[in-house]
Amino acid sequence: MPCDTIYGFVCTTPEAEEKIALIKGREDNKRFIKLINSPNKLSSISNDKIDSRILSLWPGPLTLIVNSFIGDTIALRVPKDDFLTKILNILDVPIISTSVNKSGMAPLNKIDEIIDNFEKEVDLVIDGGDLENPVPSTILDVTKQPYRVIRQGKCIVPNEFLEQI
């Protein structure tokens, strides 16, 4: 389905997450992004105190890597897309998300290519049309200061937001 920035495989269960990893041919140790419906959900996942300037970029194409309560890190994003936000609000649980592609390949953003490559492997394809000039989310590590851009994507984080607080 379209996921705000690019097409994504999405799911809510560990079993479905394993299926997506198999479809993509993804390494076991590489986890997926979780989409949440509000910045307010962050406090139920992490104790990290994140600069309000960074949080002002949500909802939007910014993925934050935070420390989770269980001692590892987790990548979170609050999407801006209305349809995806409605789904998140109805489910009221994080949605696991990753780009539609085989690992190591470019993300697919033409609906015909997505259907040709994955229709028989997934339960549902939501057609949002072809995405022109898609850019994935920016990934920002906020687990230590100064914050660090891991992947530059659609969201431009001002340099002054990245300085030591």
Q: What is the pLDDT of residues 46-104, one digit of tens each?
A: 999 999 999 999 999 999 999 999 889 999 999 999 999 999 999 999 999 999 999 98
Q: What is the pTM of this model?
A: 0.93
| pLDDT tens string 98-132 | 999 999 899 999 999 999 999 999 999 999 999 98
Instruction: Measure the CA–CA gap between 17 and 44, rounded to whole angstroms.
Output: 21
Q: Could you state, in order of their start, the residue ranges of all structural domains in the chain?
A: 8-161
- CATH architecture of the domain covering 8-161: Alpha-Beta Complex (3.90)
